Amino acid sequence: MQVLGIDIGGSGIKGAPVDLEREDYLAERFRVETPRPATPQAVALSVQRLVDHFNWKGPIGFGFPTVIVNGQAKAYGNMHPDWLGVQVDKLFEDQTGLPCTVINDADAAGLGEMRYGAGRDKKGLVAVITVGTGIGSGLFYNGKLIPNFELGRIRYKKKPIEKYAANSVRKKEGLTYKQWAKRFNFFLENVELMCTPDHYIIGGGISKYMDEFKHVFTTQIPIEAAQTKNHAGIIGAAFAAMEREK
């Protein structure tokens, strides 16, 4: 099955048509800047640009950066406050005239990694953690998604812990990888107090440098880098749409 996968982020919106049987893109990824302000109508128009770029006529899957329940935004995360309560799938369907499936972006990235990356065939409780502007998480039990498990929203010093341990904070504060890894290790300790996964998979741009900081982690839980890298969100969004179409 062929699906257009679109990953909506705070800084960019990127997508590509995916052949889910061959596990490959049908064209090079296309990216546009996330509009400022990122209002629902402005983002919908940006989505239309991707649809037009690929001349797409089939189903579309979206990863969206906030809590999504049955296609509706239950929060707005780093997007515009106007997103709160919006039926996001219907908004995009009205804009494009195509069937649209919308899930949380970290869940989409997790689906991509579990289906086509390091999580393939892993059993038990697997936490796929994406580290970038914030900390996203996809939680899976025997391969089945537990949706909207926002581990990056754990409170620390009256703020979400991602404000302390995300990769964007490392860059902003000029931390070395070792200094940052101590913070991320603290995050993992908090995760283990809540749910103690059987496996960690770390994604996002930071995962390319795991050899430089992995030794800092004190966790006894097996931990490895994601394999699908920046492709996971697009692939996972497409996979979610395929599951809906069955």
Do 13 and 7 form a contact (C-beta atoms < 8 A)? yes
Mention every residue, 6+ apart, whose C-beta is less than 8 A from residue 55.
none
Mention every residue, 6+ apart, whose C-beta is less than 8 A from residue 62.
6, 7, 8, 47, 88, 89, 92, 100, 101, 102, 103, 108, 237
Same domain, 150 and 74: no
Same domain, 193 and 158: yes
Same domain, 10 and 28: yes
pLDDT(26) > 90: no
User: How many structural domains compose the chain?
Assistant: 2
Which residue's entry shows tokens 């400022």? 36
Answer yes or no: is 112 within a domain.
Answer: no
pLDDT at position 246, please?
66
The rounded mean pLDDT for the chain is 93
Answer yes or no: is 44 within a domain.
Answer: yes
Answer yes or no: is 196 within a domain.
Answer: yes
Q: Tell me, what CATH number does 135's domain have?
A: 3.30.420.40
Answer yes or no: is 89 within a domain.
Answer: yes
Do 43 and 8 form a contact (C-beta atoms < 8 A)? yes
Same domain, 84 and 149: no
Answer yes or no: is 215 within a domain.
Answer: yes
Q: Which two tokens stand for residue 211?
A: 């050899």
pLDDT at position 77, please?
80
Answer yes or no: is 113 within a domain.
Answer: no
Q: Which two tokens stand for residue 197?
A: 């996964």
170-222 pLDDT per residue, tens: 999 999 999 999 999 999 999 999 999 999 999 987 888 999 999 999 999 99
Q: Which two tokens stand for residue 212?
A: 């430089």
108-118 pLDDT per residue, tens: 999 999 988 99
Same domain, 200 and 239: no
Answer yes or no: is 146 within a domain.
Answer: yes
Same domain, 13 and 71: yes
Do 101 and 241 form a contact (C-beta atoms < 8 A)? yes
Q: DSSP string covering 183-215, please?
A: HHHHHHHHHHHHT--SEEEEESGGGGGGGGTGG
pLDDT at position 206, please?
87
* Per-residue confidence band for 84, with pLDDT thresholds at 50, 70 and 90: very high
Same domain, 97 and 140: no
Same domain, 132 and 222: yes
**What's the mean pLDDT in 49-78?**
94
pLDDT at position 208, please?
86
CA 208, chain centre distance (Å): 17
Give the burial string for 205-236 (b: 16+ CB within 10 Å, else e). Answer: ebbeebeebeeebeeeeebbbbbbebbbbbbb
* Per-residue confidence band for 20, with pLDDT thresholds at 50, 70 and 90: confident
122-181 pLDDT per residue, tens: 999 999 999 988 899 999 999 999 998 889 999 999 999 999 999 999 999 999 999 999
Same domain, 190 and 215: yes
Answer yes or no: is 200 within a domain.
Answer: yes
For residue 132, the enclosing domain spans: 121-226
* Per-residue confidence band for 228, with pLDDT thresholds at 50, 70 and 90: confident
